[in-house]
Structure 1
């Protein structure tokens, strides 16, 4: 993931839930490696713990 960011193939965003800058890349589908959701560690962990419906997928990536 970091390689794609460094190469300019992917632009790191802030957390889509709270806007914090320290984020993880979350993959809804691993067969699309550059299609990610940017979530802070707190929201990324909650998403995995409580399920994908906790933070519904937005239309824009």
Structure 2
């Protein structure tokens, strides 16, 4: 969003941002990040610490 506004200001354009797409973007990014990190975390939680150090 900052890049769009910055480019629009330097080019003397009017920035047009749809709030329906801009506002939920951080929430969607957080959900994707949590989903991507869940599997490796669960897998690592099942390994004993000593066994993990041996690998």
TM-score of the two chains, using structure 1 as the length reference: 0.28
* Higher helix proportion: 2
Give the number of the structure whose alpha-carbon radius of gyration is greater.
Answer: 2
Higher relative contact order (CA 8 A, sep 6+): 1
TM-score of the two chains, using structure 2 as the length reference: 0.30
